[in-house]
Amino acid sequence: MQTAIFYILAGGLLSLSYINDKGKTKKSLKKAWKALENMLPQLLGIVLLVGVMLAIMNPDTISSLIGSSSGWMGTAIAAIVGAITLIPGFIAFPTAALLLQGGAGYMQIGAFVSSLMMVGVVTMPMEVKYFGKKSTIARNVLAFVYSFAVALLIGKVMGEL
Amino acid sequence: MKNIILRYRFFLVMAAVTIGLSIINPLAGEKAVDMTLFSFKEMISVLPPIFILLGLLDVWVPRETMIRYMGEGSGAKGILLAIFLGSAAAGPLYGAFPMAAVFMKKGVKFTNVLIFLGAWSTTKIPMFLFELSALGARFAITRLIASMAGIFVIAHLVDKAVDKKEKTVVYKNASEMN
């Protein structure tokens, strides 16, 4: 649905651009391709890595890692698992719901979901290419720490603390 | 040729790992291939419009305009635009990196680039709706509010952690990329 909107938007603007200036449109498409080509090698590697990861880290494995231990220890494990895995949202949220049913607490799920989305250990080499080492490390470390703050808040709101 | 192998070494290593996994555990190997094809399809469907928009932005929108809206001194306007653009995005976080590079090239303030990255990572609208249905309103809304606050805090702390010299290098690098 959202992807469709993006295609319509991109297609519309591209046509508009073409009507106004063919040369500029050609240049913009060249730039688009160059930007894509620039990140393609790492992207393809990451797609494979995610495949291998999901084959090994299925919901059962994650559940045994996060679901079994609760408290801060469980939260820490959840945050670490979230930080190193790269799982698309449409798999992550149902997995998180399954974990809840399997006995994991909201705090652990909060840490898992937050670090999963904000921390990207797997994509760090890519991030370094665009943002430099310092910024990448600072952002990922801070986001990791922040996922504990989110867990704490979620724990309070959901009445676990 | 040697150059291509060097550029694609990570991909080649991962391909070898996948093949290795398939030999050791055929079931897991099959699953890995399935998931790879799935993510690849997602990548192919989500990325083209993002890159087309990125190219158009680069060619059509003058640097002065981007600076006015999102550069130094753009204030709340720049922050809101960064959040909006990040939240409206589609696709995984790595899609945000080349877009961020064009932003930097166009003179967008570093904290705004970081806010954009933060919004893309965690406050994407379809993801929020998904979270809402999977984990409940109380959980999803609490996390959304916490994430919003976190995006600001992290953006400002990262901005502080990166000194001026490094920032100049990152911006120069971004301009040369496109």
pLDDT tens digit sequence for B119-147: 999 998 888 988 999 999 999 999 999 99
Q: How confident is the model at residue A101 (pLDDT cuts 50, 70, 90)?
A: confident
Q: What residues of chain B lie within 8 A of the CB of A41, using their CB?
A: 7-8, 10-11
Nearest CA in chain B to A53: B32
Cα-flanking dihedrals φ and ψ of residue B72, to 5°? -55, 135
Q: Is the pLDDT of residue A72 over 90?
A: no
Mean pLDDT of B47-65: 94
Q: Residues A27, A32, A37, CA angle at the centre, nearest 5°?
A: 125
Question: Which residues of A are less than 8 Å from B150 in CB distance?
Answer: 118, 143, 146, 149-150
Residues B36 and B65 in one domain: no
What pLDDT is recorded for position A131? 96
Q: What value does the mean pLDDT take over residues B105-117?
A: 97
In a domain, B54, yes or no: no
In terms of domains, do B38 and B72 share one? no
pLDDT at residue A157 in the model: 95
Asked whether residue B94 is assigned to any structural domain, the reply reads yes
Q: Does B150 lie in the same domain as B71? A: yes
Q: Is residue B56 part of a domain?
A: no
Whether residues B77 and B116 fall in one domain: yes
The answer to whether the CB of B101 falls within 8 A of the CB of B116 is: no
| Statement to judge: residues B129 and B159 lie in one domain | yes
The token pair that represents A79 in the structure block = 């945050």
pLDDT > 90? residue A56: no
The domain tally of chain B equals 2
B144 with B100, same domain?
yes
- State both tokens at A17: 């651009």
Residue B55 located in a structural domain: no
Task: Let me know whether B173 and B88 are in one domain.
Answer: yes
Whether residue B53 lies inside any domain: the answer is no
Q: pLDDT category, A69, cuts 50, 70, 90?
A: low
Q: Please report which confidence band the pLDDT of residue A53 belongs to, taking 50, 70 and 90 as the band edges.
A: confident
| pLDDT value for A86 | 82
Answer whether A103's CB lies under 8 Å from A136's CB.
no
Q: Residue B19: its pLDDT value, please?
A: 95
Whether residue B75 is found in the same domain as residue B154: yes
Same-domain check for residues B84 and B158 = yes
Mutation to test the B interface, candidates A50, A112, A121, A137, most B Cβ within 10 Å? A50
Hey, what are B175's tokens? Answer: 């301009």
Domain-located, residue B12? yes
Same domain (yes/no): B23, B74:
no
Residue B51: inside a domain: no
Burial class (CB in 10 A: 0-12, 13-18, 19+), B176: exposed
**Could you list the residue range(s) of the whole structural domain that residue B33 is in?**
1-46
Residue A8, pLDDT > 60, answer yes
Query: Same domain, yes or no, for B89 and B132?
Result: yes
- Rounded-to-integer distance, Cα A93 and Cα A99, Å: 10
**Length of chain B in residues, anyone?**
178
pLDDT, residue A90, reads 73
Tell me how far apart the 2 most distant CA atoms of chain A are, in Å.
61
Phi-psi region of A159 (alpha: psi -120 to 50; beta: other; left: phi over 0): left
Better-scored residue on pLDDT, B155 or A1: B155
Chain A residue closest to B169 (CA)? A132
Whether B107 and B27 map to the same domain: the answer is no
Amino acid letter for position A76: A
| Three-state secondary structure of chain B | CHHHHHHCHHHHHHHHHHHHHHHHCHHHHHHHHHHHHHHHHHHHHHHHHHHHHHHHHHHHCCHHHHHHHHCCCCHHHHHHHHHHHHHCCCCCHHHHHHHHHHHHHCCCCHHHHHHHHHHHHHCCHHHHHHHHHHHCHHHHHHHHHHHHHHHHHHHHHHHHHCCHHHHHHHHHHHHHHC
Decide: helix, strand or coil at residue A4.
helix
Task: Say if residues A70 and A104 touch (Cβ distance below 8 Å).
Answer: yes
**Average pLDDT score, chain B:** 93
User: Residues B98-119: what's their mean pLDDT?
Assistant: 96
